[in-house]
Amino acid sequence: MTNTTVQESSRAGLALVLIALAVALAFRVPDLKLKPFHGDEANQAYKAGKILLETGVYTYDPIEHHGPTIYYLALPAAWLTTDGTFAGTVEATYRIVPVLFGAVIVLLLLPLRTALGNRATFIAALLTATSPAMVYYSRYYIQEMLLVFFAFGAIAAGWRYTQRPSLSAAIAGGLCIGLAHASKETCVLAFASYVGAGMCTVGWSRLRDGKGDTRADLNCIRARHAALCAIAAASVSVLFFSSFFTHWRGVLDSVLTYANYTNKAGSPHIHDKPWHYYLQMLLFTRNAPYPWFSEALILALGALGIRVALSAKRSHTPHANLLRFLAFYTLGMTAVYSIIPYKTPWCALNFLQPLIVMAGVGADALIRGLRLRAWRVGVSTLLALLAGQLAWQAYLACYVYHSDVRNPYVYGHTSSAIKRLEERLDQIAAVSPEGYDTLAGVLSPTRDYWPLPWYLRKFDRVGFWDTLPPEAGAPIYSAPIVIASSSIARELNAKLPGDYHSEMHALRPGVLLTVFIRTDLWEAFMATRVR
């Protein structure tokens, strides 16, 4: 192949990945306020907006929360688009963070293009852009997409280093490892899978190719580069967990937290599920006659890609070691996430993303293996149609059934009806002489009130109670607005002085709220409706 041909092929490959990036952004960016905030999203937004944005203070919580990168990364959007207050932020202020990481992750395929080839790279990029799970959780303000991005970024940097050892590639890999650690504690599962995949690759190569020349690929590692990689990883992790050198205890807690997770792993939990939960969810889900969701195309092509990677001889497949490493890494991540009983659907991204890369390899092998051009065109067309069906599912999941239990990616999600409650609160504040300084109380015996702090963020005075105070002068009894769990609403109503209008609102499926609005404010609001 001449230099001109190589350059043209490289430009074509780059153009195809950029097309996939555009598709990824088109699916992820629009209407980020459409889906109500999940309780976890609201909790994360509260820490980023109410605490970090307004006070400049962040302290890592090793018991209930994950790493801090997602909070700090939301600040630029908040600084640029708001007045610097939690009340001034909107859903897009926070969700734009996973949106960008979920889209830009397709660019991490570019360094791998020499091993995968243009066609496999483009298919993997396009499937990443349109996978319903990848799209849905790219619009979700949680740590998972950041973790997946940095974990794969470390692989891309590592591959780049083995091909052309450089200080920049070593530091890039270290930064990705450190940022993965600073994003979520489960990064250790990816790190362990790196080691396991590396050892399996060496062993498999010996088995398939005879001599263990795989180790020669590691000889390129220079001690100085390895040291700087480790320093970069440690530095960026310390930077975030120490809250930019203001809370050194956070660095120690980032290690001690694993004792907490070990205890959780050994105890029964409401999120425990059977080993096949993720695979079954991705293979086929139909919770009602319509719609159904399936990413079976990715599972099938990914399995084919793994088979191709492990069955190919080094002499027949350039860069076989990378493909083998990716195959073992995918298998390892799938196994470990299936074995762990604690399961939430977004955790599937950790093995789905490398599986998508292997799906690109599988699709390329399928097309390349056909002798007749007509067959290659036919299979390519069929795969394009199936990928289009994935894109249609992504649209349904994100823009039609975004909060519907028929959607397999919806997990304990807030009801769309919460938007009516938010509107009602705004309407009452508009007629109240105190405006958003009106006292609003929330009463929940189980403290199961998230995401209400998000939907009450415009109110300057909000109180939370888990029991009814015995003293009659407690602030909750003078609050013009009280939001109570339905289980305690009747008892509260008996203790509220004066007259209140009450109405029901849904928080989540099966979780109802009773909202008490003082009668004078309700009548003032109703008067606005008459006009």
CA 275 → CA 184, 269, 327, 328, distances in Å?
22, 15, 20, 19
Q: At what angle do helices 118-130 and 373-395 cross, to 10 degrees?
A: 20
Q: Say how far apart CA 25 and CA 2 lie, in whole Å.
A: 35
**136-177 pLDDT per residue, tens:** 999 999 999 999 999 999 999 999 999 899 999 999 999 999
Return the SS3 of 204.
helix
CB atoms closer than 10 angstroms to residue 138: 30
Are 194 and 229 contacting, i.e. CB atoms less than 8 angstroms apart?
Answer: no
The sign of the dihedral angle between the CA atoms of 120, 126, 132, 134 is positive
Res. 287 pLDDT band, cuts 50 70 90: confident
3-class DSSP string for 445-481: CCCCCCCHHHHCCCCCCEEEECCCCCCCCCHHHHCCE
Q: How far apart are CA 345 and CA 27, in angstroms?
A: 20
**3-class SS of residue 197:** helix
Q: What is the pLDDT of residue 319?
A: 82
Lookup: tokens for 348: 């599937």
Nearest C-alpha neighbor of 449 from the set 413, 485, 423: 485
| CA-based torsion, 471, 474, 477, 478: positive or negative | positive
For the stretch 470-473, contacts whose Cβ atoms lie closer than 8 Å and that sit 24 or more positions apart, written own/partner, are 472/497
Q: Rounded CA gap, 192 and 195, in Å?
A: 5
pLDDT at residue 8 tops 60:
yes
- Distance between CA atoms of residues 378 and 363, nearest Å: 13
User: CA-CA distance, 403 to 385, in Å (whole number)?
Assistant: 27
Residue 342's SS3 state is strand
Q: How far is CA 415 from CA 92, 346, 419, 503, in A?
A: 19, 19, 8, 16
Rounded Cα–Cα distance for residues 333 and 356 (Å): 13
pLDDT digits (tens, 9 = 90+) for 73-102: 999 999 999 999 999 999 999 999 999 999
Model confidence band, residue 10 (pLDDT cutoffs 50, 70, 90): confident
d(CA 33, CA 12): 36
Hey, is 170 helix, strand or coil? helix
Q: Scan for tokens 């944005």, then name that residue.
A: 53
- Type of residue found at 223: A
Confidence of residue 219 (pLDDT cuts 50, 70, 90): confident
Element containing residue 155 per DSSP (H, E)? helix 144-163
Q: How confident is the model at residue 444 (pLDDT cuts 50, 70, 90)?
A: very high
pLDDT at 274 over 70: yes
Tokens coding 39: 């309780």
Which pTM does this prediction carry?
A: 0.95
pLDDT of residue 5: 65
